[in-house]
Structure 1
Amino acid sequence: MVPVHPQQLPWWTGKPGKSSGADTAAVDARTLAAPAQLSRSGELETTIFKPHGEGPFPLLVLNHGKSLGSPRAQERARFLSISREFVKRGYAVVIPMRTGFSKSSGEYVEEYCDMTANGQIQANDLDDVLAYVARQPWADPQRILVGGQSYGGLTAMAFATRGVPGVKGVLNFAGGLRTNGCQWQESLVQAFGNYGAQARVPSLWFYGENDSHFGHELASNMHQAYTAAGGDATLVKFGAFKNDAHGMSGSRDGVRIWWPETEKFLRQIGMPTEEIFKLAEPSRPAKSGFAEINNIAAVPYLREDGRDQYRAFLNKSQPRAFALSSSGAWSWVEDGDDPAGRAVASCQKNSVSPCKLYAIDNDVVWSGKA
């Protein structure tokens, strides 16, 4: 028996509105533990977004990157901006945390600078997840898209070599892996060449000019190695994106970059592109009128270092959020999934008092009450 726990997530709280030409449907958001390989006898923490209904729905399986620090401490990935675009078009989106990450069981394994092996080790978990998902009545096992960002992009490209029935294509958002103390760039190029020689499906790649991990030159070298070996890949090199293009796929502002090319790609491989569901816009606290966003002196409870951080927050890109508590704790978050929720959670780790939102984007939402 696989435990399934319904859970509301921030992009889809409330009821969806009506839209001409699109049916209305709430989103079924849940986390579950999917059985892993029998040799590991474990479970993989997996998030699923899908429209309400029986399906069967085409599938998008998204793969996360690797943050600094312990994989066990990494937060559960949700890819809210990407998931939203695909659920609107009738897809079920499946986001597994791989072995050793977050609440998934087992231990993370890395073969140091052997990037070919690293990608394939991570791709083993996709075999397990798809074997489980394909048996679900709401899933269409003949229409599968696999994608990933950073280490998840490398994982997706490794998985493209396996010829899994029903997989139509791969989306690679800034795919790769950096390892200190070795020639990791050369190893990445070699890995993509190895994958290209065995690839069974077409892929679409996105790499930005100011990507702090994998810039245009390295992306071109990986693409050249991949296609020269026989792989079918389209490389989209876009310009600078905010402070770091590596996070483009996690930003709601990144949709304008990746969706037009993705729409063309999906049509070429026979996957759906038409919006058929209207989703509710995310709810957020209203502007309170407590103070103007740039009034640093009005922010309560903060010591001087906290006020310095609020100044830093004012220079961050949107979406962004700042949280604080009566004990003087604070935290700010910019871009990515649910910045408001993440800011409160981060603040709470260092506070004995409840943390609350002070500002979202350009609005102060603080009510004046602790």
Structure 2
Amino acid sequence: MRSHLVHARQLVIAAIAAALACVLAPSGHAAPVGALPLDARLNEQIITVPAGAALNVQLETTVYRPSGPGPFPLLIINHGKSPGDPKAQGRDRFVYMAAQFVKRGYAVLVPMRTGFARSTGTYTDFGCNMKANGYQQAGDIADVVSWARAQSWIDGEHIVIAGQSYGGLASLALSTQDLPGVRGVMNFAGGLKVHGGSCDWQQALVNAFGEYGRKNRIETLWMYGANDSYFNPQLVGRLYDAFNSNGGRVDLVAYGAFKHDAHTMLGSRDGQPVWLPEVERFLQKVGMPTEQVYAVAEPAPQPATNFAALDDVAAVPFLPERGRQQYRAFLGKQMPRAFAVSPSGAWGWAEEGESVNERALAACQSGSRQPCKLYSVDDYVVWTDTPDPANNSATGRTE
């Protein structure tokens, strides 16, 4: 076991990947965000993987891979659970982590488990029975491992598993199995919080981690931040003690505060300096590749313009007064962030997490019949007041 504190200025570099996106049309009604484009840099695809006792469940699964036939070592990343209906949860992508692994020659799978997003089947919730919750979710991951080992483009002897939040709990439950080819499990802010009710979910989680430690068969890496909104350092200490004292193999990295909430560090653009060095050390320990062997282009940044100062709210074109109020509020949001507008008067914005430009545009577009364009990105304006060929109308200031 190695437990240490990573303080790099309290690691205030990082992330609320609550991936919040908002859109308001001129009427002021919220509108849903559409599907995001696939990432060609990473050969992103969406496939289905069979799972379940009779393999009759189809898991919506994101695939990233280097170009070529392989076989490639494999990373499987497991998602958390958003509040509400699992069917309404969007497809998780984990682009930042996937990009680092593709550079190192890995294929990456991100399966949405039974009943989540567009996966078929019905999600089963065992409430405060955390052991059962973890084992149930781990069943899907084991099915993905079995499917992956049968693919010619995957090196079935070099597989690692990662999970964030509920996916971390599921991954630790998976570590109780002897799975051919699986060399390590990485738990990022793993666990499950029961909202409401009278059960002691924290003690139930400790009990589950104790059992997983007693049955543990695979090396594990854990990463928890000091300001995690779900699992505070005191609870993490209890989880670690339960797992470790029962014989579980665990390498705990307890790092400092990460922006507003360390719980979603893995999904943040700024999280990479926190997790990547620790992950590379763990990969070396379990005999997995760490050298970069493929080039992956960085997304081209939007160029800054001299259209207006970032905080010149009056300069933002097309917006009604309520939209200008929203832009003022947007200026206080975390980076990465983006704000988009349309000649129709609609607007949309996104902060933190992945694909903020695309999410802001999609949010705006879902409330507008006319094309949306980015107005600002991070801390600079990207708007130009040239005619927009898409709708042949001027896109400059409005009085």
User: TM-score scaled by structure 2?
Assistant: 0.84
* Residue of structure 1 aligned with 2:250, choices 220, 233, 236: 233
Q: Which amino acid aligns with 2:109?
A: V
Residue 364 of structure 2: SS of its match in structure 1? helix
Let me know the Cα RMSD of the aligned residues. Answer: 1.7
CA contact (8 A) 1:40 1:106 kept: no
CA distance in 2, matches of 1:304, 1:177: 41
* Residue of structure 1 aligned with 2:352, choices 313, 319, 335: 335
Q: Deviations over 1:53-74 (max 9, x none)?
A: 1211111000011112221111
CA distance in 2, matches of 1:105, 1:199: 30
CA distance in 1, matches of 2:139, 2:293: 33
Structure 1 match to 2:187: 172
Structure 1 match to 2:143: 128
Shift in Å at residue 38 of structure 1? 5.0
Q: How many residues align?
A: 350
Q: Which amino acid aligns with 1:68?
A: P
Shift in Å at residue 8 of structure 1? 6.2
Counterparts in 2 of 1:38 and 1:353: CA distance versus 1, 3 Å: farther
Residue 141 of structure 1: SS of its match in structure 2? strand
> RCO (CA 8 Å, sep 6+): is it higher in 1 or 2?
2
Shift in Å at residue 237 of structure 1? 1.0
2:74 paired with 1:59: yes
Q: Which amino acid aligns with 1:332?
A: W
Structure 1 match to 2:159: 144
* Residue of structure 1 aligned with 2:324, choices 298, 307, 330: 307
* Residue of structure 2 aligned with 1:106, choices 106, 109, 121: 121
2:42 paired with 1:42: no
CA contact (8 A) 1:8 1:30 kept: no
**Which aligned pairs between 1:350-361 and structure 2 lie closer than 5 A?**
350-361=367-378
Unaligned runs of 5+ in 2: 1-35, 389-394
User: TM-score scaled by structure 1?
Assistant: 0.90
Shift in Å at residue 40 of structure 1? 6.0
Q: Which amino acid aligns with 1:105?
A: T
Structure 2 match to 1:29: 44
Q: Percent of counterpart pairs with the same letter? A: 50
**Which aligned pairs between 1:288-307 and structure 2 lie closer than 5 A?**
288-307=305-324
CA distance in 2, matches of 1:354, 1:183: 50
Q: Which amino acid aligns with 1:323?
A: A
CA contact (8 A) 1:89 1:277 kept: yes
Shift in Å at residue 358 of structure 1? 1.6
2:131 paired with 1:116: yes
Unaligned runs of 5+ in 1: 1-6, 14-26
Q: Which amino acid aligns with 1:9?
A: L
CA distance in 2, matches of 1:100, 1:255: 30
